[in-house]
Amino acid sequence: MTSLRLTVALLSSLFFVSCNKNSEPAPEETADLVSVRYFQTYCSDKWGDAKPPQQYLTSASAYLTQQGITLSQAQITQYNGVIPACAMCTCATGKLLEGRVPSSQLAAIQALGFIKN
């Protein structure tokens, strides 16, 4: 009878744990990610010229994927700092491409001009 109780208790605890899994990633799953940002330029970005935000995000993500870099939680935001007036191809547009990469890919994405936050 004791082994039956032990079996029931074990199965109940397994059922309880599996039914109450949190959908949020565990801290150790996100701890390896590093926040990065890139200042969009008018026409010297490796993935193409300045475009509407969603097109730019799609182009940048596709290019990074080709380079073996996984940019997650990618978004385009407006930079609130001072941007010098400039109309050259290499000048910043005032938009930031921001996201997170695995720490193992940080050097590769920094080589493309991204900055660690």
Q: Which residue range(s) make up the domain with 31?
A: 25-116
d(C-alpha 117, C-alpha 99), whole Å: 10
20 assigned to some structural domain = no
First-residue to last-residue Cα distance in the chain: 60
CA angle 92, 51, 42 (to 5 degrees): 25
Question: Cα 76 to the chain's mean position, in Å?
Answer: 12
The CATH number that applies at residue 44 is 3.30.70
pTM of the model: 0.70
Each residue's pLDDT tens digit, 99-108: 999 999 999 9
Each residue's pLDDT tens digit, 40-98: 998 999 998 878 889 999 999 999 999 999 999 999 999 888 777 888 999 998 999 99
- Amino acid at the residue 39: F
8 assigned to some structural domain = no
Three-state SS for 19? helix
- Output the pLDDT for position 31: 64
Number of domains in the chain: 1
